[in-house]
């Protein structure tokens, strides 16, 4: 594989380089015939099996959270085993537990564009205390219909989703500051803002004049985690790609890579590649917050959704927000600067010391490393090269610390091991490259299969990385697994980085396309994991806490069934008096007070097929019967030896039929 790299490098530079980018997959293809691909035993550490073996009944050392990309979810894997522990639906409906299907959770997916149950999730980010992951929450971005979500790590459930106004393509998002003061979200696509929170109806010819981007500062309640959009900065109409928070000396700052500083509105693959340099934007978020607090922020009308899951009722509620505050860089001296960076950069990563800002420019031949202390000097000395929209642009050399020479092809993202090393993913040459922060020299390379995007080291983006493992997340799997037709799983690869040389340990398939991921020591999360919901504290308005309170009532053409489920029956299990065209709401309360005893509920013909109710919780399935007859319902989760018996019937009569509402379990009660 090493020889492959040398071959590409010899053949590549300059002209062939663009070709290599466009045809990345092709390159990988010839580099790895089935033989080489499947026989990479050569590249695998001899004791790899032992290194990833977690004996049956034993737990993994880390939780890792991999984004699902276009699948809109996150999946939780144990490391080092690569065991899939859970899929957390965020911006997507989830057939496994009814998220986004049952009546309680639907509102989580409301937006100003209506109900949007499928989005593109790229970046999970763990909450922080003193610059270290604290295991409380996990934030994630909705890329397409701009949203930021928060997952509660006591329940591994999405509890909050906030839409972002004045944004289009919420990609450089969500980046928490060292103490979760803010979660910061930048727009990828600039758009013509109508100054009412949306986009204006203008000709694309007006791109250069009318299009703008925005950076949103979401305040996070330190105790509860609740989010609130504090203010935005309206920034020049570039594309804002990725972000990273400073650390230590730079912890008041957040950095954004930009491309298309040419502000081309069409054929961006050419139009956005004209300038040799784009920018790394540096924003002093503390100063921005101060400006906003001191009255520099203006207000504009807006219209965006903020959805929260109520802790007591387990019902999601949407609130519509009608204003947003914004700052303009030209009004706020010292808040924002631009650092020239090689053409169309992608990742920006700040090392654990907070001094080095590493820009991975996918088209660049080197990896530039900028210096925070030099940046401070340059501010003092005003080493500027003009300005854009009132934002000073630094001279490249005044902020540059070093360039990592010949790192590989197509650098995308960098993480750190806390031992003085950086690791950069190379999309085109399909490898992880390890280099030293002390002298910026490459010290090791590990081929990965194939076309790696993000990489992740537990805590590798924090003050204190845990430099034991690295996970490479690959775009192309090809011959690595048994073929499954044209559609293949993406893959992750686990690499041991504890020693001098990287060692390949494990391949495991992922759920859809992982972009970024986060990992944390299990001991920071596992002890807080909720086992079941306390039935006594269930405040769902239609919960019933004992079987004798179960009921069926008619309110116009709505029939409300308040049902209980406990091993191994539902109450009631015989229902009559429903008519064709009624809306039947099954509010099912799981009476169990024991860990890991969910009950499912499904009724024949319901078009959101079923829901899954955790112990102590209430969930609602809506059913509009279209035909008369008798319809069975049943528990869909094999909960006991008599699970198959956990079933009932509901009778549906024609519209206007005289059959009265009645219900029973066992003995039939007289009609009400
Ligand atoms: Cu590089 Cu969306 Cu973070 Cu994917 S992004 S790889
Ligand atoms: Cu309850 Cu099966």
| CATH number (domain holding residue 603) | 2.60.40.420
Output the ligand 2 site: residues, CB below 6 A. Answer: 565, 599, 635, 637-639, 643, 646
The pLDDT of residue 534 is 97
**Per-residue pLDDT tens digits for 104-145:** 999 999 999 999 999 999 999 999 999 999 999 999 999 999
In sequence order, what are the residues at sequence separation of 6 or more whose Cβ sits closer than 8 angstroms to the Cβ of residue 548? Answer: none
Nearest CA to ligand 1 atom 6: 453
The pLDDT of residue 315 is 98
Q: Are 259 and 205 in contact (CB under 8 A)?
A: no
Helices (H), 213-356: 268-271, 285-293
Distance from the CA of 454 to the center of ligand 1, in angstroms? Answer: 6
Closest atom of ligand 1 relative to the 427 alpha carbon? 6
Domain count, the chain: 2
Pairwise CA distance, residues 417 & 353, whole Å: 12
For the chain, what's the residue count? 672
Using the structure block, give the residue that is written with the tokens 């956005």. 272
Tokens of residue 159, six digits: 């509890």
Calculate the alpha carbon distances from 667 to 342, 571, 670 in Å: 78, 11, 10
**Per-residue pLDDT tens digits for 51-104:** 999 999 999 999 999 999 999 999 999 999 999 999 999 999 999 999 999 999
Count of alpha carbons within 13 angstroms of residue 428, beta-carbon side: 23
The pLDDT of residue 42 is 57
Residue 24 in this model has a pLDDT that exceeds 60: no
Q: Is 23 exposed, middle or buried (0-12, 13-18, 19+ CB in 10 A)?
A: middle
In sequence order, what are the residues at sequence separation of 6 or more whose Cβ sits closer than 8 angstroms to the Cβ of residue 469? Answer: 62, 79, 80, 457, 458, 494, 495, 496, 497, 498, 505, 519
Q: Is residue 34 in some structural domain?
A: no
Distance from the CA of 588 to the center of ligand 2, in angstroms? Answer: 12
What is the share, in percent, of the chain residues with pLDDT greater than 90?
A: 87
Residues 442 and 514 in one domain: yes
Residues 551 and 469 in one domain: no
The pLDDT of residue 521 is 98
Residues 511 and 585 in one domain: no
Distance from the CA of 121 to the center of ligand 1, in angstroms? Answer: 10
Question: How far is Cα of residue 333 from the mean position of the Cα atoms in its chain?
Answer: 33
What is the share, in percent, of the chain residues with pLDDT greater than 70?
A: 93
Q: Is residue 307 in some structural domain?
A: yes
Residues 509 and 576 in one domain: no
Residues 413 and 547 in one domain: no
Tokens of residue 105, six digits: 């959770």
Closest atom of ligand 2 relative to the 634 alpha carbon? 2
Residues 103 and 166 in one domain: yes
Pairwise CA distance, residues 380 & 390, whole Å: 17
The pLDDT of residue 609 is 76
**Per-residue pLDDT tens digits for 383-436:** 999 999 999 999 999 999 999 999 999 999 999 999 999 999 999 999 999 999
Q: Which numbered ligand comes closest to the C-alpha of 70?
A: 1
Distance from the CA of 550 to the center of ligand 2, in angstroms? Answer: 18
Residues 483 and 598 in one domain: no
In sequence order, what are the residues at sequence separation of 6 or more whose Cβ sits closer than 8 angstroms to the Cβ of residue 319? Answer: 305, 306, 307, 308
The pLDDT of residue 276 is 81
Residue 1 in this model has a pLDDT that exceeds 80: no
The pLDDT of residue 41 is 57
Q: What is the per-residue burial (b if ≥16 Cβ within 10 Å, else e) of 642-666?
A: ebeebebbbbbbeeeeeeebbbbbe
- For the segment 616-620, the average pLDDT, to the nearest whole number, is 98
Calculate the alpha carbon distances from 299 to 231, 302, 584 in Å: 9, 9, 45
**pLDDT, greater one: 177 or 272:** 177
Chosen domain end from 528, 562, 587: 528
Using the structure block, give the residue that is written with the tokens 């050399």. 397
Distance from the CA of 108 to the center of ligand 2, in angstroms? Answer: 27
Distance from the CA of 122 to the center of ligand 1, in angstroms? Answer: 6
Pairwise CA distance, residues 620 & 207, whole Å: 47
Chosen domain end from 528, 554, 574: 528
Assign residue 253 the CATH number of its domain: 2.130.10.10
**Per-residue pLDDT tens digits for 250-296:** 999 999 999 988 888 888 787 777 788 899 999 999 999 999 999 99
Nearest CA to ligand 1 atom 2: 122
Q: In what order do the strands lie in the sheet with 384-388?
A: 239-245, 253-259, 277-284, 336-342, 391-394, 384-388
- For the segment 45-53, the average pLDDT, to the nearest whole number, is 93
The average confidence (pLDDT) of the chain is: 92
Q: Is residue 453 in some structural domain?
A: yes
**Per-residue pLDDT tens digits for 483-497:** 999 999 999 999 999
For residue 5, the 8-state DSSP code is H
Q: Is residue 277 in some structural domain?
A: yes
Residue 23 in this model has a pLDDT that exceeds 70: no
The pLDDT of residue 541 is 98
Closest atom of ligand 1 relative to the 171 alpha carbon? 2
**pLDDT, greater one: 38 or 176:** 176
Distance from the CA of 601 to the center of ligand 2, in angstroms? Answer: 8
**Per-residue pLDDT tens digits for 191-225:** 999 999 889 999 999 999 999 999 999 999 999 99
* φ and ψ at residue 398, rounded to 5 degrees: -75, -15
Residue 313 three-state SS:
coil
Output the ligand 1 site: residues, CB below 6 A. Answer: 122-123, 171, 242, 346, 412-413, 453-454, 515-516
Q: Which numbered ligand comes closest to the C-alpha of 513?
A: 1
Residue 517 in this model has a pLDDT that exceeds 50: yes
Q: Is residue 662 in some structural domain?
A: yes
* φ and ψ at residue 16, rounded to 5 degrees: -65, -15
Nearest CA to ligand 1 atom 4: 515
Q: Which numbered ligand comes closest to the C-alpha of 645?
A: 2
Q: Domain range holding 544?
A: 540-668
Residues 516 and 548 in one domain: no
The pLDDT of residue 19 is 39
Q: Which of 288, 298, 297, 294 is nearest to 337 (CA)?
A: 288
Closest atom of ligand 2 relative to the 568 alpha carbon? 1
Distance from the CA of 400 to the center of ligand 1, in angstroms? Answer: 24
In which band, very low, low, confident or very high, does the pLDDT at 610 lie, cut at 50, 70 and 90?
Answer: confident
Closest atom of ligand 1 relative to the 122 alpha carbon? 2
Q: Are 612 and 636 in contact (CB under 8 A)?
A: yes
Residues 478 and 395 in one domain: yes
Angle separating helix axes 15-22 and 24-31, nearest 10 degrees: 90
Residues 579 and 493 in one domain: no
Residues 417 and 308 in one domain: yes
Angle separating helix axes 24-31 and 2-11, nearest 10 degrees: 130
**Per-residue pLDDT tens digits for 353-389:** 999 999 998 888 899 999 999 999 999 999 999 999 9
Pairwise CA distance, residues 175 & 214, whole Å: 14
Nearest CA to ligand 2 atom 1: 599
Closest atom of ligand 2 relative to the 638 alpha carbon? 2
Q: Is residue 427 in some structural domain?
A: yes
In which band, very low, low, confident or very high, does the pLDDT at 21 lie, cut at 50, 70 and 90?
Answer: very low
Chosen domain end from 498, 528, 558: 528
Residues 604 and 660 in one domain: yes
Torsion angle defined by CA atoms of residues 443, 447, 450 and 453, in that order, rounded to the nearest 10 degrees? -20
């Amino acid at each position: 594989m090493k020889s492959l790299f040398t071959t590409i490098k010899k053949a590549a530079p300059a002209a062939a380089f663009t070709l290599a980018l466009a045809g990345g997959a092709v390159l990988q293809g010839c580099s790895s015939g089935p033989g080489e691909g499947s026989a990479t035993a050569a590249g695998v550490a001899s004791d790899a099996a032992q290194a990833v073996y977690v004996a049956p009944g034993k737990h993994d050392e880390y939780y890792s959270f991999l984004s699902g990309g276009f699948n809109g979810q996150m999946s939780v894997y144990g490391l080092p085993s690569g065991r899939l522990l859970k899929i957390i639906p965020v911006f997507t409906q989830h057939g496994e537990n009814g998220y986004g299907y049952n009546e309680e959770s639907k509102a989580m997916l409301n937006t100003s564009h209506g109900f949007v149950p499928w989005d593109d999730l790229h970046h999970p980010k763990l909450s922080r205390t003193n610059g270290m992951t604290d295991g409380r929450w996990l934030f994630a971005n909705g890329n397409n219909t701009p949203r930021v979500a928060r997952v509660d790590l006591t329940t591994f459930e999405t509890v909050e989703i906030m839409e972002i106004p004045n944004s289009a393509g919420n990609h450089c998002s969500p980046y928490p500051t060292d103490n979760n003061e803010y979660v910061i979200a930048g727009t990828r696509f600039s758009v013509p803002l109508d100054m009412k929170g949306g986009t204006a109806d203008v000709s694309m010819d007006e791109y250069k004049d009318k299009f703008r981007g925005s950076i949103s500062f979401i305040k996070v309640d330190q105790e509860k985690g609740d989010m609130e959009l504090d203010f935005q900065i309206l920034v020049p109409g570039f594309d804002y790609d990725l972000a990273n928070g400073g650390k230590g000396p730079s912890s008041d700052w957040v950095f954004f890579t930009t491309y298309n500083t040419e502000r081309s509105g069409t054929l961006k693959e050419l139009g956005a590649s004209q300038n040799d340099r784009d920018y790394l934007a540096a924003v002093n978020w503390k100063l921005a917050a101060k400006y906003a607090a001191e009255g520099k922020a203006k207000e504009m009308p807006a219209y965006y959704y903020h959805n929260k899951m109520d802790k007591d009722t387990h019902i999601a509620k949407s609130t519509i927000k009608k204003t947003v505050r914004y700052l303009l860089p030209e009004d706020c001296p010292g808040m924002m600067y631009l650092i020239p960076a090689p053409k169309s950069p992608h990742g920006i990563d700040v090392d654990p010391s907070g001094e080095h800002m590493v820009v991975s420019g996918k088209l660049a031949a080197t990896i530039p490393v900028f210096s925070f202390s030099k940046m401070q000097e340059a501010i003092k000395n005003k080493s500027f090269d003009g300005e854009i929209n009132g934002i000073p642009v630094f001279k490249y050399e005044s902020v540059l610390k070093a360039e990592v020479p010949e790192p590989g092809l197509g650098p995308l993202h960098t993480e750190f091991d806390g031992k003085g090393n950086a690791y950069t993913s190379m999309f085109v040459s399909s490898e992880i490259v390890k280099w030293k922060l002390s002298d910026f020299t490459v010290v090791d390379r590990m081929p990965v299969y194939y076309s790696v995007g993000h990489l992740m080291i537990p805590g590798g983006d924090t003050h204190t990385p845990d430099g034991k493992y690295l996970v490479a997340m690959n775009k192309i799997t090809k011959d690595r697994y048994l073929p499954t037709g044209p559609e293949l799983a993406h893959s992750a690869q686990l690499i041991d980085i504890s020693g001098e040389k990287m060692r390949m340990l494990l391949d495991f398939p992922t759920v859809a396309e992982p972009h970024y991921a986060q990992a944390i020591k299990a001991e920071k999360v596992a002890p807080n994991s909720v086992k079941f919901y306390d039935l006594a504290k269930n405040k769902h308005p239609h919960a019933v806490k004992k079987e004798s309170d179960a009921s069926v009532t008619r309110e116009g053409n709505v029939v409300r069934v308040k049902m209980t489920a406990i091993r191994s029956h539902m109450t009631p299990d015989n229902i009559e008096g429903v008519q064709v065209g009624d809306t039947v709401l099954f509010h099912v309360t799981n009476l169990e007070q024991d860990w890991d005893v969910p009950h499912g509920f499904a009724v024949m013909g319901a078009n959101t097929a079923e829901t899954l109710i955790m112990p102590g919780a209430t969930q609602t399935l809506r059913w509009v019967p279209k035909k008369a007859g008798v319809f069975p319902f049943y528990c869909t989760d094999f909960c006991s030896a008599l699970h198959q018996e956990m079933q009932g019937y509901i009778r549906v009569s024609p519209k206007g039929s005289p059959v009265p509402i009645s219900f029973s379990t066992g003995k039939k009660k007289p009609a009400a």
